[in-house]
Amino acid sequence: MKGNKYLELFKWPMAKDMPSSAVGMYKSDKFLVEVNKLVEQKKAACPISGGTRRTELKSRVESWIEEQMDHYNSVSKKPSLKKDVSLDVSQFPKSETGTDTLTITTSKTQLFLIDSSYDLISCYESVYGKKEILRRLLGDNPLLLFEVDSLESGGRAFSGDPFTGQMAAFSKVYCTDLENNKERKFIIYYPHQLHTQFFSSGGILKDNKGTKVIAGNVDLVITNNGVLINPKDWSVL
């Protein structure tokens, strides 16, 4: 479609040219607090806002965390998968209903269009420390950050729908133009998923629909406690 007159019409504008407002948080997350500052500075924008505050029974939250940690202790025997993690029930505040439920939703929006990957890298490094490999992986490009709050153990957050469908759709809608040219890097952030959830007990990558969709569409995965995964070769960085 050479000379397609609709290319510019259907191109997402830069954040500086979009309306911006404070997004807000349902629960604490130092990395997303820094990302929200980009929105206030008009260096990022939220194409969708007003996410639902999701809660879960405390007993279920405790069970999922225990299962994730048990799996981590098994998988992290492989030296390349041994990383510092931080997942504890105390990180999930009580809901406002007065019942024995906890809030697991972090930000009031899950999508951030960020004008420069360098700004996102600065957010990351202000929380987790210097990581030069991010500059090599992302360069200086606009990007989409998709935050997924799923806590459920077993990898449901990236093994099947609706999550895999969302990833494929967001990649197409926000990261490519009408001629399927890549315009933005795509990063997924899983604050409540340990990196070992992507791997079987033997440290082998899980072969499912989700990992295939991520490998084909996503440029970087950030998991609990800032652990990075390059989905092109599934190396834990």
pLDDT tens track for 171-202? 999 999 988 899 999 999 999 999 999 999 88
Q: Is residue 223 part of a domain?
A: yes
Q: Is residue 7 part of a domain?
A: no
Cβ atoms of 37 and 126 closer than 8 Å: no
User: Around 33, how many Cα atoms within 13 Å sit in the side-chain half-sphere?
Assistant: 8
Residue 176 CA: distances (Å) to CA of 109, 171, 186, 204: 21, 7, 10, 31
SS (H, E, C) 89-158: HHHCCECCCCCCEEECCCECCCEEEECCHHHHHHHHHHHHCCCCHHHHHHCCCCEEEEECCCCCCCCHHH
Q: Please report the pLDDT score of residue 22 as a whole number.
A: 67
Q: How many domains does the chain have?
A: 1
Q: Please report the pLDDT score of residue 79 as a whole number.
A: 93
Is the confidence at residue 28, as pLDDT, over 70?
yes
Secondary structure class of 60 (helix, strand, coil): helix
| Domain of 98, in residue numbers | 15-236
Tokens of 221: 């995965």
Task: Share the mean pLDDT of the chain.
Answer: 91
Where residue 1 falls among pLDDT bands split at 50, 70, 90?
A: very low
Is the confidence at residue 54, as pLDDT, over 70?
yes
Q: Is residue 57 part of a domain?
A: yes
User: Which residue would you say has higher pLDDT here, 45 or 164?
Assistant: 45
Q: Is residue 54 part of a domain?
A: yes
Q: Is residue 170 part of a domain?
A: yes
Q: In the predicted model, what is the mean pLDDT of residues 207-227?
A: 95
pTM of the model: 0.94
Q: Is residue 1 part of a domain?
A: no
